[in-house]
Amino acid sequence: MSQALYQRIAAALRQRILSGGHPAGDLLPSENELAGAYHTSRVTVRKAFNLLEAEGLIKARQGKGYIVQPPRHSEYTLFFGSGEELGHYRCEEVRLLPPDPDVSRALNLHNGQLTVVIRRVLERSGVSIACDEKYIPYERGSPTVERELNAARQPEERTDRTEEVSLRTEMTLRVAVPPPEVRKALGCGKEGLLMTERLFLALGGKRLGLSRTYLTPDYGPLMAYAGLPVTEDSEEAKKNESE
Amino acid sequence: MSQALYQRIAAALRQRILSGGHPAGDLLPSENELAGAYHTSRVTVRKAFNLLEAEGLIKARQGKGYIVQPPRHSEYTLFFGSGEELGHYRCEEVRLLPPDPDVSRALNLHNGQLTVVIRRVLERSGVSIACDEKYIPYERGSPTVERELNAARQPEERTDRTEEVSLRTEMTLRVAVPPPEVRKALGCGKEGLLMTERLFLALGGKRLGLSRTYLTPDYGPLMAYAGLPVTEDSEEAKKNESE
DNA sequence: AAGTGGTCTAGACCACTTC
DNA sequence: AAGTGGTCTAGACCACTTT
């Protein structure tokens, strides 16, 4: 109990929507209406609506009201395991190399610019389960590169220091046959592996680096969800919803 | 211009954080402090903080303040193309079958319970790029099943009617060799394809259905991002940030 | 005790939509 | 013109953390 009023209002609306009381397209009661019904202020009702809007259940339309949204299950939250259960990265090789054309294009490199290539292997219980290749544009004295190298050489540290200055990361997922060096590192053949390619972008759209990670079947499946996340207070919420 | 004050405050804070002025772990100025500095009320400053908190940049700690978070790029937003550019689903087969053990376990079926199996093929410009198998627990007179069947038989409709009552969808991604029926439908061999498996859950945790989608290389890569999404008003935000 | 965020009030004006 | 959401104010009390 002792849940905030705006959360109780949100829970009540959420349940009505999810149990079919308000099909998609429906207009919900207005802020003023609910403020009256709950004997509270408009601000409090608004907070409840904002909560549901953040969850994607409803959408506000100025001058009209709050409209129930059709479930958008075209967006998923994909999460990778964090640190411990994932395994340990071991830095395998760091080299300064001319990039292949794909990498050069993705990173917007000028002609002849070199890249730092960092290859690491992820191991769990002694088994190699993934291999990661990271390409960073080489610029003399760039703090990013130095930081990357330090991070890569200390395998027990946080895995991805580039991300510390990265505003946004764009990822693609596909099945790909790893290049020979990766196959050797993973001890696998020419079968296709799940590959994630990540492009790290800074504030002004500057490309900080590109990372390709090949996941062996031993890595296990990637996991994602759509709709409500499982939160700490889901239990409490359920109690209140069932009132 | 004419951006709301709370958005300008948020933009200013965001820029300071992202350009390194406030490293992770830093305590930001308090609500009262900023309210004074901007000659505004605490509520408005709060809205700015809430925005940044929703973006994952900061975290509120009662009694302490707002703390800059380390970039969490272990969570990505995975999005599938919507409708038009994706292609068209064609329903290939609908049958009532005993489920294989995997499906039975995932859907928590009781012994001997049948499943409705719906197989659809996704085509884009005449090319089959994906095949989807959906398993729904069969219950006499269940409105969900009837709705599913109707939806599946009208290929131009919205693709996934089950999701209309689904509170949450859990997905796993992996490389898998499709079963014979799917290989036949896609005209492919025994190579591994990118597969997404989705479990649809209702309000009380009830399992509504399971869907397995096999994506051919022609489908293209799946796309995801972490960090700031690209929004409509990103341009405006940039202008204000550069002030 | 002082400062912080968390919740809430009872107003206000604006921009937008509908009638 | 009336109703809606969007923004904002100037207070208030509470729970929590730090000193």
Minimum distance, in Å, between the CA of residue B113 and any CA atom of chain A: 25
Calpha distance A180→A113 (Å, rounded): 23
- The answer to whether A40 CB sits below 7 Å from nucleic acid chain C is yes
What does the mean pLDDT of chain A come to?
83
Calpha distance A179→A187 (Å, rounded): 12
Per DSSP, the three-state class of B48 is helix
Asked if B168 reaches chain A (Cβ–Cβ under 8 Å), the answer is yes
pLDDT at B219 over 60: yes
Calpha distance A164→B18 (Å, rounded): 9
pTM: 0.81
Asked if A4 reaches chain B (Cβ–Cβ under 8 Å), the answer is no
More confidently predicted of A158 and A71: A71
pLDDT at A111 over 60: yes
The per-residue DSSP string of A136-183 comes to EE--TT-HHHHHHHHHHHSTTS-S-GGGGG-SEEEEEEEEEPPPHHHH
pLDDT at B236 over 60: no
For B116-131, what is each residue's pLDDT tens digit?
899 999 998 889 999 9
Calpha distance A210→A182 (Å, rounded): 16
Cα dihedral angle (B159, B164, B167, B169), rounded to 10 degrees? Answer: -10
Q: Specify the CATH number of the domain A5-73+230-241.
A: 1.10.10.10
Distance of CA B28 to the CA centre of its chain: 31
In terms of Cα–Cα distance, which of B217, B165, B169 is closest to B193? B217
HSE-CB of B16 using CA atoms within 13 angstroms: 15
Number of CB pairs, chain A paired with chain B, less than 8 A apart: 148
- Which sequence spans correspond to the domains of chain B? 5-71+230-241, 79-224
Nucleotides of C under 7 A from a protein CB: 3-12, 15-18
Q: Contact A166/B227, CB-based, under 8 Å?
A: yes
Asked if B21 reaches chain A (Cβ–Cβ under 8 Å), the answer is no
Distance of CA A183 to the CA centre of its chain: 27
Determine the pLDDT at residue B102: 92
Q: Name the residue of chain B whose CA is nearest to A81's CA.
A: B74
Per DSSP, the three-state class of B114 is coil
- B193 vs A71, A170, A175: nearest CB: A175
pLDDT at A102 over 60: yes
| Other beta carbons less than 10 A from residue B183's beta carbon | 17
- The answer to whether A7 CB sits below 7 Å from nucleic acid chain C is yes
Asked if B123 reaches chain A (Cβ–Cβ under 8 Å), the answer is no
For B113-169, what is each residue's pLDDT tens digit?
899 899 999 998 889 999 999 998 887 766 666 666 666 655 444 444 434 466 788
- B173 vs A71, A82, A222: nearest CB: A222
Find the helix or strand (DSSP H, E) in which A131 lies: strand A127-137
pLDDT at A161 over 60: no
More confidently predicted of A80 and A170: A170
Q: Specify the CATH number of the domain A79-224.
A: 3.40.1410.10
In terms of Cα–Cα distance, which of A10, A15, A90 is closest to A46? A10
- The answer to whether B32 CB sits below 7 Å from nucleic acid chain D is no
Q: Name the residue of chain B whose CA is nearest to A203's CA.
A: B18
In the CATH hierarchy, which fold is given to the domain comprising B5-71+230-241?
A: Arc Repressor Mutant, subunit A (1.10.10)
